[in-house]
Structure 1
Amino acid sequence: MQFSQTMSQSAYVNNVIQIHRPQVYLEIGVATGRTLFSPPFPPLSIGVDPAFSSTVPQTEQGTIMVFKMTSDEMFDKGIIDETLSGRHIDLAFIDGMHLCEYVMRDFINTVARCRKGSLILIHDMFPKSIEHASRERTQDVWTGDVYRFGVALMRYNPGFPIAFIGDTAGTGMALVRVVDPTLRFAVTPEEMTQFMLSLPPQQGVPILRKHALSVKSKTHILFLANQLKARRV
């Protein structure tokens, strides 16, 4: 397992794909396809992004499908279920709309289509400034208030092992192991949204930082190793 503190978001995710070897990979927020279109290629890779404008490459290693729509539309209209055709998501990378309530919906909808041992990565947990964390995009670098979902995930976690990586992938990452895809939050999405939006700007970032791991730490490596064990059970 080769991880460095200077590796990009794409390099980190591709490294996890190489270790995790998913049969089905979901990427919410494809942008230019820098991550989705980089090897290694799982047997099935599914991407969704309403602003997608690149060309999907052809590869003999696997099938890549990209839907130019919002993730809400993909989930609500059952397009993801038609595409999965009875399969489950093994690995997901959530990097779509950078607002906490959108990330919450993406997470809930993804978990429902996972299996025991699946892994979900969530980008942008550690904004570097108040401007980065704004709910309105005013500059190129923008994390939005994704961190608020990180705090809510810790507060209302129904039993998912979670790790926060604070020193890689630009603005950090959350790793969530799906030990049971039937687990549900004890509060409604509306109640969770109300809690998230009640947090003062960036108040949750120090809370997450207290739990952040280094990408080169033994705890991070063990988290991924245990993830592989969970998939084999």
Structure 2
Amino acid sequence: MQWSLEKGYVLADGLHYLGFLELLHQVIHPDWYLEIGTRTGASLKLSAAKSIAVDPDYQLSHEVIQNKPALHAFQESSDAFFEAGRIQHLGARIDLASLNGKHLFEDLLRDFIGTEKCCAQNGLIVFQGGLPQDEAMASRDHGPVAPADWAGDIWKILPVLKRYRPDLKIDVLDAAPTGLVIVSNLDPHNTVLEENYAAIVQDYQNTTLQDYGVERYFSALDIQSAADSRWLCAFPFELGKGWRDKPDISIKIAAPTRDKMVKWGDYHFARSLARAFCRLGYKTTICPAEDWYLHRRAGGIDLVLRGRANFHRQPGRLCLMWAISKAMRAVNYTNADHVFWASKQLFEKAKLDQPDGQFSLLPQAFDHDLMTLGPKKARKGLAFVGRARAGFERSSVVHAAQANEDLRIWGPGWQAGKYAPYVVAEGVPNDDLAEIYQSAQVVLNDHTATMKESGFLSNRVFDTLACGAIPLSEDVGWLPDDIADFVYLYHDQESFAAGVARARAESAAKRKKRDTLARQLVAVHSFKARAVEILKVAEALRAETLSA
């Protein structure tokens, strides 16, 4: 249906709310999702979380189970659902809730009250209807308005929340067709709305938007673009102040699709970098190949990891490349405003081959949220964390096994081979890595053939040092000067054995210096330090463009 916008109203013509909701799921990865008003299942199918659906009259036309670990569907009114304490009986804390019931403000108010009580820390409640396009769409009776286009008097919830709950954070997005409201900073223990429910209904139930004042209502809203919303950045809860006045950053990784990218190593590298950018107040997204050109706002920054991906510069945006594990293809030189090299060897070569090019040496980094000094532990054995790679053996594992060392492996792909006796677990949560490193006499690090030949130093070296642990790393031809004295290197069986012996013989004085280094690395080799360096280059390039 085509709508003619009435005077004073605002057109919600941004990203469709279903598209936004799909992206929101992918960003915040809720453990529990609640949906009130499922109807056909068009929105429920988007969830990959443990899900709870409530609707008195399901008319499902979509496959809603898919890959959900659990789906609890209740065919009853939301009032009956909350009165029965269904969420509490499931032991769930809601991370994301979509309230899409009868489109009457008092119903939504009760659903909001019931939902907030069950929300987790950093939980979100979203609902449609904050941006009706005319008087008919905003009325309590949809009349001739098609149900799909009817917002009802949901709009009233916004002035109610602002009046009674100023502690809440409310974002109003231009998501089609009737706007989308996101409420955060929820407080499950707050009872103000419940205690004042009767008075609120009495004051607002019979008030029309015309009575309230169309201009008064819309002028009080800070309406944001759904596509550019902070909630679609990689770390919306950690986004620093001033982000609206700064360029957005879109990190491009080589993973082909969004559903596959979480299994790529570059994705976890990108997340650590994105968190640093977000904390500095730069809205940052992570995009697989299928979404490389999704973010096009002029003035933004495209940061391409790896360098071998054929990304083409977008008009009006800076294009930066960071080659973290592979060489560059020639086509990317012409598309890049600046290239960061994590390999000193390739950085020096690039300066010779392209004397007029814009290059910097920028090694890999460590995530200070994960890798920090901890309590002193008894150190035992040689720790290796990584997957078994098809086509070649991991050199550090080979040398440790041949030396009959107390080798301990965490990673997939080893159970079926000759190194199975050394396997501790097929995986390890990132939050547990620091403890594993700190509990080992030596932490082993090797490289893919490409990284070794090209001189790319793995971030595992920085991870290990940041924990105060001792790395024994395959030699790739260079080390940053400030860490060179604290990394033992090997290139064959003999040098591997010598490195292990030197690590075990470290003096107490050397261990103390190692702890001092770990504290200093935050300012030099953390992802925050790398983010600051990248931003300095971007600001200089922007200044050059403006002066030209």
Q: TM-score, normalised by structure 2?
A: 0.38
Q: Is the 8 A contact 1:213 1:220 kept in 2?
A: no
What residue is the counterpart of 1:131 in the other structure?
A: 136
SS in 2 for 1:215: coil
| Distance in 2 (alpha carbons) for counterparts of 1:224 and 1:29 | 28
Pick from 178, 191, 212 the counterpart of residue 185 of structure 2. 178
Pick from 53, 57, 70 the counterpart of residue 51 of structure 1. 57
| Distance in 2 (alpha carbons) for counterparts of 1:126 and 1:132 | 9
Q: How far off is 1:197 after superposition?
A: 2.2
Q: How far off is 1:80 after superposition?
A: 3.1
| Distance in 1 (alpha carbons) for counterparts of 2:70 and 2:99 | 20
Q: Per the alignment, do residues 173 and 205 of structure 1 end up closer, same or farther by CA in structure 2, a change over 3 Å counting? A: farther
Post-superposition Cα deviations, 1:145-199, rounded to whole Å, max 9, x if no partner, equal 000111111111151111111x213100111113432123265100111222253
What residue is the counterpart of 2:72 in the other structure?
A: 65
Q: How far off is 1:116 after superposition?
A: 1.8
What residue is the counterpart of 1:155 in the other structure?
A: 163
2:127 maps to 1:119: no
What residue is the counterpart of 1:196 in the other structure?
A: 204
Unpaired runs of 5+ in structure 1?
none
What residue is the counterpart of 2:458 in the other structure?
A: none
Q: How far off is 1:214 after superposition?
A: 1.9
Q: Is the 8 A contact 1:32 1:54 kept in 2?
A: yes
2:26 maps to 1:18: yes
Q: Per the alignment, do residues 118 and 24 of structure 1 end up closer, same or farther by CA in structure 2, a change over 3 Å counting? A: same
Counting matched residue pairs gives: 221
| Distance in 1 (alpha carbons) for counterparts of 2:234 and 2:203 | 28
User: What is the root-mean-square deviation in Å for CA atoms of aligned residues?
Assistant: 2.6
SS in 2 for 1:176: strand
SS in 1 for 2:27: helix
Post-superposition Cα deviations, 1:114-155, rounded to whole Å, max 9, x if no partner, equal 122101101111111111111112121211100011111111
| Distance in 2 (alpha carbons) for counterparts of 1:220 and 1:205 | 27
Pick from 224, 231, 237 the counterpart of residue 226 of structure 1. 237
Pick from 215, 221, 226 the counterpart of residue 226 of structure 2. 215
Post-superposition Cα deviations, 1:61-112, rounded to whole Å, max 9, x if no partner, equal 4222222211111111223332xx2220110011111001000000000000
Higher mean C-alpha displacement, 65-74 vs 18-27? 65-74
Q: Which amino acid aligns with 2:208?
A: P
2:109 maps to 1:98: no
Q: Is the 8 A contact 2:116 2:186 kept in 1?
A: no
Q: Which amino acid aligns with 1:92?
A: A
Q: Per the alignment, do residues 159 and 102 of structure 1 end up closer, same or farther by CA in structure 2, a change over 3 Å counting? A: same
SS in 2 for 1:87: coil
2:91 maps to 1:80: no
Q: Is the 8 A contact 1:115 1:180 kept in 2?
A: no
Higher mean C-alpha displacement, 15-24 vs 58-67? 58-67
Unpaired runs of 5+ in structure 2?
1-12, 240-274, 276-368, 370-548
Q: Per the alignment, do residues 100 and 188 of structure 1 end up closer, same or farther by CA in structure 2, a change over 3 Å counting? A: same
| Distance in 2 (alpha carbons) for counterparts of 1:37 and 1:184 | 32
Task: Compare relative contact order (CA 8 Å, sep 6+) and give the higher one, 1 or 2.
Answer: 1
Q: Is the 8 A contact 2:45 2:65 kept in 1?
A: no
Q: Is the 8 A contact 1:125 1:171 kept in 2?
A: yes
Q: TM-score, normalised by structure 1?
A: 0.84
Q: Is the 8 A contact 2:54 2:75 kept in 1?
A: yes
| Distance in 2 (alpha carbons) for counterparts of 1:53 and 1:36 | 12
Regions of 4+ moved over 4 Å = 217-224
Identity of aligned residues (%): 29
Post-superposition Cα deviations, 1:42-72, rounded to whole Å, max 9, x if no partner, equal 1x11111112122764433422222221111
Q: Per the alignment, do residues 168 and 87 of structure 1 end up closer, same or farther by CA in structure 2, a change over 3 Å counting? A: same
Post-superposition Cα deviations, 1:1-37, rounded to whole Å, max 9, x if no partner, equal xxxx643221111111111110000011111000101
| Distance in 2 (alpha carbons) for counterparts of 1:89 and 1:227 | 20
Q: Which amino acid aligns with 1:190?
A: A
What residue is the counterpart of 2:41 in the other structure?
A: 33
Q: Per the alignment, do residues 219 and 104 of structure 1 end up closer, same or farther by CA in structure 2, a change over 3 Å counting? A: same
| Distance in 1 (alpha carbons) for counterparts of 2:87 and 2:201 | 24
Q: Per the alignment, do residues 21 and 149 of structure 1 end up closer, same or farther by CA in structure 2, a change over 3 Å counting? A: same
Q: Which amino acid aligns with 1:17?
A: H
What residue is the counterpart of 1:109 in the other structure?
A: 114
Q: Is the 8 A contact 2:35 2:99 kept in 1?
A: yes
Tell which structure's C-alpha radius of gyration is larger: 2
Q: Is the 8 A contact 2:132 2:178 kept in 1?
A: yes
Higher mean C-alpha displacement, 198-207 vs 20-29? 198-207
| Distance in 1 (alpha carbons) for counterparts of 2:214 and 2:191 | 24
| Distance in 2 (alpha carbons) for counterparts of 1:163 and 1:208 | 13
